[in-house]
Amino acid sequence: MDPDDWGYFLSRTFDEWQKRDVGHVLVNVFETAVVQMMGRAAQTCVTAEFCGKALAVEHDGEVYSCDHFVYPEWSLGNIRATHLGEMAFSARQQRFGYGKRDSLPAYCRQCRHLKLCWGECPKNRFVRSPDGEPGLNYLCSGIRRFHDHAAPVLRQFARQSA
C-alpha cells in the first residue's frame, strides 16, 4: 500500500462519514481521533501512547506481547506454567508497552499530530525519517495527510462533545 494513498483513502472516507454517518456508523479510527482531540486516551492501541494491552494467546498456551508480535522473542511465557496476570503486568511487558513511545524518532516527537498518532503501530516502523533516523512508520506521510485534512472537523466535533 502506498502511504499517500492511505492518507487519501482515510481523508475521503472521513469526509463521507462526517457528512452522512456520524452517530450512525462507527468508524473506530475517526471516533478515536475525536476522543483524542478531546484530550482523552485513545480507544485503540494503534493510536495510543503505549501498547501492550492486547496480549495474544496461541492455541498451545504461549502468550505474546501483542498479536502483531507473535514471534519467539516476544513470548511472555505459557499459561500452563504462568498466570496470565503475571505475564500481563510483568516488567518485560511494561518495557514492550513503553517502548512504543520511547522508541519514536525525533521526527515523530516534534510532529503536531503526535498525540493523535503516537507513531501508529510499531510493526510499521521500518523506514527512516527525513533526517535519517530509523523507526519511522511506513504510513507516516498518509497519516499526516489524513490528520492535516481532518483536524478542523475533529476539533469541531471535540468542542461539541465536551
Which class for 159: exposed (0-12), middle (13-18), buried (19 or more C-beta within 10 A)?
exposed
The pLDDT assigned to 152 comes to 95
Residue ranges in the chain modelled with pLDDT below 50? none
Helices 140-161 and 28-37: crossing angle, nearest 10°? 60
SS3 assignment, position 104 = coil
The pLDDT assigned to 102 comes to 97
The pLDDT assigned to 52 comes to 86
Helix (H) or strand (E) holding 75: strand 75-78
The pLDDT assigned to 157 comes to 87
Query: Is 131 a catalytic site residue?
Result: no
Q: Give me the catalytic one of 2, 15, 21, 67.
A: 67
The pLDDT assigned to 134 comes to 97
Q: What is the pTM of this model?
A: 0.89
The pLDDT assigned to 161 comes to 80
The pLDDT assigned to 158 comes to 86
How far CA 44 is from CA of 47, 75, 159, in Å, comes to: 6, 22, 21
CB count within 10 Å of CB 33 equals: 27
Provide the terminal-to-terminal Cα distance of the chain, rounded to the nearest Å: 36
